[in-house]
């Protein structure tokens, strides 16, 4: 192979991927959202969602959340509250931090997710920040619509600007579909838990905590299956 042609290919391929990533950032916002209707008053749903220690009962992804409380820390479920989400029971491996940024009582909670440890892309992945929103809508006295939504937020700075197309492109293609699946299962678990609490019945969890979710255990097979499903619907 001619050396000049090899150089051209070596330049063109990364540049093409970079430009494609820019196109992805323009066409897709990477916003994920899901909602469920829960047969319970909004006060009960809000109270359940405000208690970080209950996450072990409903999350299929992180094993537990540890609120950091005490002197100098805001109480769990309030503005300024800080907590750590652990993927594994032994608190090794994947984890990330969260702070509660804004609250509208019985209506809305905004959470900032950051410092993602152990995720792909190393320091670049760790530096990313996500906005997570929980919306509580009172349908009537005994029904509530709970909506989870999230999006990746670009951070300031020239380096972040340069890395943004690659980071967001990877998130839109791989991260967002995985996050959407987790939202669906988590919300169905929350729905079952709150309704069981209100009725006095035992909680029968629809989706168990999974040490290896499909997109972790068989990432390529999951990704192709997910893409095929998206094209078929």
Is 21 within the bounds of a domain?
yes
**Range 49-71 burial, b when 16+ CB lie within 10 A, else e:** bbebebbebbbbbbbbbbbeeee
pLDDT digits (tens, 9 = 90+) for 105-128: 999 999 999 999 998 777 777 888
pLDDT at 136 over 70: yes
| Full domain range(s) for residue 157 | 3-227
Is 167 within the bounds of a domain?
yes
CA–CA separation, 130 and 149 (whole Å)? 10
Is 204 within the bounds of a domain?
yes
Q: Report the domain count for the chain.
A: 1
Is 130 within the bounds of a domain?
yes
What global pTM score does this model have? 0.85
CA–CA separation, 171 and 67 (whole Å)? 27
* φ/ψ of residue 87, rounded to 5: -70, -35
Residue 100 contacts by C-beta under 8 Å, 6 or more apart in sequence?
74, 77, 78, 79, 80, 81, 109, 110, 111
Is 155 within the bounds of a domain?
yes
Specify the CATH number for the domain of residue 114.
Answer: 3.30.530.20
Is 232 within the bounds of a domain?
no
**Nearest of 85, 75, 82, 117 to residue 99 by alpha carbon:** 82
pLDDT at 23 over 80: no
Is 43 within the bounds of a domain?
yes
pLDDT bin (cut points 50, 70, 90) of residue 67 is: very high
Is 233 within the bounds of a domain?
no
CA–CA separation, 153 and 131 (whole Å)? 7
């Amino acid at each position: 192979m001619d050396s000049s042609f090899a150089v051209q290919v070596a330049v063109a391929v990364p540049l093409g991927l970079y430009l494609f990533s820019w196109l992805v950032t323009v066409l897709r916002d990477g916003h994920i959202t899901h909602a469920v209707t829960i047969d319970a008053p909004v006060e009960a749903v809000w109270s359940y969602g405000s208690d970080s220690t209950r996450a072990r009962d409903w999350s299929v992804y992180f094993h537990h959340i540890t609120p950091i409380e005490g002197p100098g820390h805001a109480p769990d479920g309030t503005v300024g509250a800080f907590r750590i989400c652990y993927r594994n029971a032994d608190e090794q491996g994947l984890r990330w931090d969260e702070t509660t940024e804004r609250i509208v009582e019985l209506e809305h909670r905004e959470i900032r997710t950051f410092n993602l440890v152990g995720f792909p892309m190393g320091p670049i992945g760790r530096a990313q920040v996500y906005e997570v929103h929980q919306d509580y809508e009172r349908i009537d006295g005994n029904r509530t619509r709970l909506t989870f939504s999230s999006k990746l937020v670009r951070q300031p700075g020239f380096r972040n600007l340069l890395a943004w197309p690659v980071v967001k492109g990877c998130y839109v293609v791989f991260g967002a579909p995985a996050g959407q699946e987790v939202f669906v299962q988590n919300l169905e678990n929350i729905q079952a838990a709150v309704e069981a609490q209100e009725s006095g019945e035992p909680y029968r969890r629809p989706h168990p905590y999974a040490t290896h979710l499909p997109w972790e255990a068989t990432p390529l097979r999951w990704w192709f299956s997910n893409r095929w499903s998206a094209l078929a619907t």
